[in-house]
Amino acid sequence: MILTRRRKWGALLVLAGIALSLTGCRTEYRGYDSGIDGTLWRQIDSFEDPLSRSLYQPPVNEPVGYLDSLQGERWNSSVASASDLELPEGGVVLYDLSSTDSAAEVSVFIASGPRPDVPTDDGQHHDGPSQVFTCYRMEAAFSTRVMPSVDRVTFDDCPAALVELMPEGAVFASGEVFDG
């Protein structure tokens, strides 16, 4: 009798766990039509737009100057130095910067900062993540006659040391979520 009761409770706990995982909060956003909250999208966009102008229309046409012209906190990719970054209100972190005579590469991490307590774009109460973050890599090829050719490589996740700086309730959003 006791064994039967334990099995029933065990089965109920398993079913409850499955139900919660199926109806729980989204843990990440992917793709252009991800359903991300408009307020969080605009917060990321407010950091990404100025950076994108520098990435795609740089004021210089050589790799070292290109990297130097980018605005954002620099991170040397060490776990110990991650805590020195200032991201309580969101921002841009540049890391893994490298260059040759004809190319430059930089990885980008962008955090939205805390979402203000305002309704969603359709006037509803927001019950999603408190913040979002994204990351990707930019690769620029330089020639003497034209502006650099710049490509973006999206990442499936971000460096753990940077993710750990995010508050509870912050979630990952892939780079293509913010296209458009």
Q: Tens of pLDDT along 34-55?
A: 778 899 999 999 999 999 999 9
Which H/E stretch holds residue 9? helix 2-23
Residues with pLDDT less than 70, the chain: 1-26, 180
Amino acid at 28: E
What pLDDT, on a 0 to 100 scale, did the predictor assign at position 71?
A: 95
CB 142 within 8 A of CB 148: yes
> Who contacts 12 (Cβ-Cβ below 8 Å, separation ≥6)?
none
pTM of the model: 0.83
